[in-house]
Structure formats: structure tokens, C-alpha cells
Amino acid sequence: MLNPNAPIPLYRQLADRLAAMIRAGEYTAGSRIPSEHQMAAHYDVGRPTIRQAVDVLVRRGLLSRKRGSGTFVCEPWQEVDLFSLDGTGAAFRKTGRPVTIRMLTPVVRRHIDGPSENPFQGTSAYTLSRLTCVEDDPVLVETIHLHAGLFDGIDRMDLTGRSLSAIAEAHFYLRPVGGRQSFRVAPVDGETAALLQLPVRTPVLWVSRWLHFLQIENGVYAQLWCRTDRFVFSQTIGGTGYA
């Protein structure tokens, strides 16, 4: 039962308990959870407490309300490892869903003026943009900058529908050995909003990525705009020790 003397509010205790039951499979995807009246009687709390707990899980995407039918367990969101060194396309393909990658701009070598976090600022680099769709729904827009020396001649290749990481390994003998990412939430505007089929100013996950190679650090710099309404984007932490 819930503990009314605990410092954690009753609705939070109940939300955590229901979430644990969902993760354990006691409430399966698509199933209906007990009604507010049933849970109020079972947990000996008022219906407003039940409603608050359910609201928390609806916001988390674990439950959804259907008017006139009740509250149901949502299908689990699939995780995509956004820092996979095999490339974002490979990370999406691991979900088992059809993935298409469309080139938005051809690969061209150009002078880079910014932003300041771009390691190629003030020099030239190969640049391309592409759109990733899962089951025909747009989920990711990328702008990628490639070191001109490491990727010399990539502008003469047809990259349509091909894995950039596979091309780097097969043709340039390059495989990332590490890197870093920064994350922020930012409103999406203009052409990017249209490509992701989102209203202008919708908040999206905005990622900056730097990839390192044996030959050179920061051999690739990319900016990614990610829709988060269909996938959970994750990052595997390589170590857990403390200095």
C-alpha cells in the first residue's frame, strides 16, 4: 500500500508503482488499467490522487486516455542510440522498422563561416544535408561536415541511400574511435520544420556531434534536429567510475 507518512506525495508514490507494474508487464501494452474508482478503493486514497498519478504517466507517455473507454497502456517507445559509432542510419535500422535516408543537398566542398563550435570554421570542409524517415515519417535532419583531407573525393561518390559510416570505413579506411555530443532543446523554424512536418517553433532535440579518428580529432562535425514524439534517443555511457 501507499505510505501517507512518507515525504513523497501519495500521487507520486502511486505513479511510480504503476510505472513499475507497466515495466514488469503486469499491465501490458494496449491493456486498460483499473478505473479511478477501483484504484481509489484498492489504494485507499481519493480519486483526485488517482487522477494526479495518471496525469504524471500520461505526460511520460506511458498511459493514454480514451474518452468514454478508459485509460490504456501505451506501446513502448523504441530507443535509438544517438551516439552509435555505426552511424545514425544503422541506429534506426536496429529498431527493425523500414528506414530511408534522403539527400537534401549534394556533397560539396565549401568554406565554413560558422558557428564557432564548428571545428572547420575558417577552413573548407565537405558538407551535406540529409533527412532520415522511419516508416515514411520524418524523424531526423542532419547537416554534416567532413574533414577535407580525410574524405578527399567523397564529393564524386553517389551517397543516395547509402550508409555514410560504411562508406567512410570501406573507401577511406576510417572508423570513429570516440567523440562527444552536446544536447539542447530548441524551437525549429523554416525549412527544417517543414522537413520534419512540424509547426514552426515546435521544440525539438538539437544535437551537436564531434567524431574523432586515429588520424585526427574532430574529423566529422554534425548538427542533428530530432523529433522525439516517436523515439526515445539515448546515449550509452562508456564508463561508470569516479575520479
Q: Is the peptide bond before 138 cis (omega within 30 degrees of 0)?
A: no
Range of the domain at 34: 10-73
Q: Cα(83)–Cα(236) distance, rounded to whole angstroms?
A: 7
Q: Reduced to 3 states, what is the DSSP secondary structure of residue 54?
A: helix
Range list of β-strands (E), 123-238: 124-134, 137-147, 178-188, 202-212, 220-226, 231-234
95 vs 224 pLDDT, higher one: 224
Q: What local confidence, expressed as pLDDT, does residue 237 receive?
A: 45
Q: What is the CATH number of the domain that holds 18?
A: 1.10.10.10
Q: What is the CATH number of the domain that holds 83?
A: 3.40.1410.10
Q: What local confidence, expressed as pLDDT, does residue 243 receive?
A: 34
- From 62, 72, 65, select the one nearest 32 (Cα to Cα): 72
Residues 64 and 91 in one domain: no
Q: What local confidence, expressed as pLDDT, does residue 67 receive?
A: 86
Residues 53 and 99 in one domain: no
In the sheet that holds 137-147, the strands lie side by side as: 99-111, 124-134, 137-147, 220-226, 202-212, 178-188
> Is 129 domain-assigned?
yes
Residues 213 and 175 in one domain: yes
pLDDT band with cut points at 50, 70 and 90 for residue 241: very low
**81-121 pLDDT, tens digit each:** 555 545 666 666 666 667 888 999 999 999 999 788 999 99
Q: Of 55, 73, 91, which marks where a domain is finished?
A: 73
**165-197 pLDDT, tens digit each:** 888 888 998 888 888 889 899 999 889 999 999
> Is 227 domain-assigned?
yes
Residues 69 and 86 in one domain: no
Q: Cα(159)–Cα(146) distance, rounded to whole angstroms?
A: 14
Which residues have CB under 8 Å from 153's CB, separation 6+? none
Q: What is the pTM of this model?
A: 0.64
- From 145, 165, 142, 167, select the one nearest 156 (Cα to Cα): 167
Residues 178 and 98 in one domain: yes
**Strand-pair partners of 65:** 71
